[in-house]
């Protein structure tokens, strides 16, 4: 079951570009009954591994702006560390229902934001504006905080920040944000691992299915209508996030 889920998640990531964290966490919690904190740590580690092949391709094709990436990581790395410790603190304090509420809210909001951006049209149809890199660390700290706490947000919010505060072309935005998300997933996943907030057995099974799934998804993306598939997936993710939120609220009310 876990191997099949890893395969399907990775295929979906390859087809739609939707990040591994925002997709993996609700699947693990709702379908496998994994505790939210453990799901976040496992999803971060899985997301980092699945993004490695794509990251290598973008680096090889020189579609990563390292100057911009450095500014993003300046805020993102401290943010993901703070978010990881915040999640661990809430879990240790016995506030699991609050964790479920916050993670569900974050995932639903992130998926909804992605859906709005998708409906607005291609990203390269933006008005010209000057580059404002000095603002990046402040915004990416908040993104890192969200990633460390819920494993979601690096893809949707990172792309949005690059869109409005840099003059990078579309390919440069995707490549730079992909490496940003990869770095946050690696740091956050490693920190969750050190805190014991992950499931190594589950991670191994997800990877077994995820590696061939990522390769298949990348190949299918060249022939299938990824925009339509991405829209349908984002609607589904908004629903899943809402279900996590509802489960956390109802459990806390008992």
pLDDT (tens digit, 9 = 90+) per residue, 142-178? 999 989 988 877 776 888 788 888 988 877 888 898 8
Q: What is the number of residues in the chain? A: 254
pTM score of the predicted model: 0.82
Residue carrying structure tokens 């890192």: 144
pLDDT at 99: 83
| Domain tally, the chain | 1
For the record, the structure tokens of 91 come out as 């879990």
Label residue 223 by pLDDT band (50, 70, 90).
Answer: confident
d(CA 102, CA 87): 10
| pLDDT tens readout for residues 75-120 | 999 999 999 999 989 888 878 788 888 888 888 887 887 788 778 7
**In whole angstroms, what is the distance from residue 154 CA to residue 185 CA?**
9
Share of the chain above pLDDT 90, in %: 32
Residue 121 clears pLDDT 70, i.e. is over it: no
pLDDT at position 125 is: 55
Owning domain of residue 110: 2-253
Q: How large a percentage of the chain has pLDDT more than 70?
A: 91
Backbone dihedral angles phi then psi of residue 64, each to the nearest 5 degrees: -120, 125
Cβ-based neighbours of 212, under 8 Å, separated by 6 or more: 7, 10
Q: What are all long-range contacts of 50-56, with beta carbons under 8 Å and residues at least 24 apart?
A: 50/10, 50/13, 50/20, 50/210, 50/214, 51/20, 51/178, 51/181, 51/182, 51/185, 52/182, 53/214, 53/215, 53/218, 54/178, 54/214, 54/218, 55/178, 55/179, 55/182
pLDDT tens, residue by residue, 203-219: 999 999 988 887 787 67
Whether the predicted pLDDT of 55 surpasses 70: yes
Taking the C-alpha atoms of residue 69 and residue 78, their distance in angstroms, rounded to an integer, is 14
Q: 159 or 200, which is more confident?
A: 200
Tell me the C-alpha distance between 70 and 74, whole Å: 6
Query: How far is the C-alpha of 194 from the C-alpha of 192, rounded, in Å?
Result: 5
Mean pLDDT of all residues in 14-43: 84
Neighbour count for residue 216 (Cβ, 10 Å): 15
Contact predicate 150/103, CB 8 Å: yes
Collapse the DSSP code of 75 into the 3-class scheme (helix H, G, I; strand E, B; otherwise coil) and give the result: helix
Tell me the mean pLDDT in the region 39-63.
86
Q: Is 226 exposed, middle or buried (0-12, 13-18, 19+ CB in 10 A)?
A: middle
| Dihedral (Cα; 184, 243, 245, 43), 10-degree rounding | -20
């Amino acid at each position: 079951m876990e191997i099949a889920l890893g395969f399907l998640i990775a295929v979906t990531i390859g087809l739609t570009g939707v990040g591994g964290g925002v997709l993996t966490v609700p699947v693990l919690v709702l379908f496998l009954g994994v505790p939210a904190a453990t799901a976040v740590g496992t999803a971060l580690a899985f997301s980092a591994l699945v993004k490695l092949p794509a990251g290598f391709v973008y680096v090889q094709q020189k579609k990563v702006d390292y100057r911009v990436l450095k500014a993003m990581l300046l805020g993102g790395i401290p943010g993901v560390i703070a978010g990881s410790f915040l999640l661990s603190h809430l879990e240790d304090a016995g506030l699991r229902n609050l964790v479920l509420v916050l993670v569900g809210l974050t995932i639903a909001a992130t998926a909804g934001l992605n859906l709005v951006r998708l409906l607005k049209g291609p990203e390269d149809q933006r008005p010209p504006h000057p580059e404002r890199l000095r603002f990046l660390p402040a915004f990416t700290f908040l993104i890192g905080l969200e990633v460390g706490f819920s494993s979601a947000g690096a893809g949707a919010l990172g792309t949005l920040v690059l869109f409005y505060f840099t003059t990078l072309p579309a390919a440069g935005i995707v490549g730079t944000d992909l490496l940003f998300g990869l770095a946050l997933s690696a740091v956050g996943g490693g920190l969750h691992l050190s805190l014991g907030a992950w499931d190594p057995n589950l991670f191994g099974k997800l990877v077994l299915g995820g590696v061939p799934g990522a390769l298949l998804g990348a190949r299918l993306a060249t022939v299938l209508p990824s925009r339509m598939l991405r829209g349908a997936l984002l609607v589904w993710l908004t629903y899943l996030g809402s279900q996590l939120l509802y489960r956390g609220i109802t459990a806390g009310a008992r």
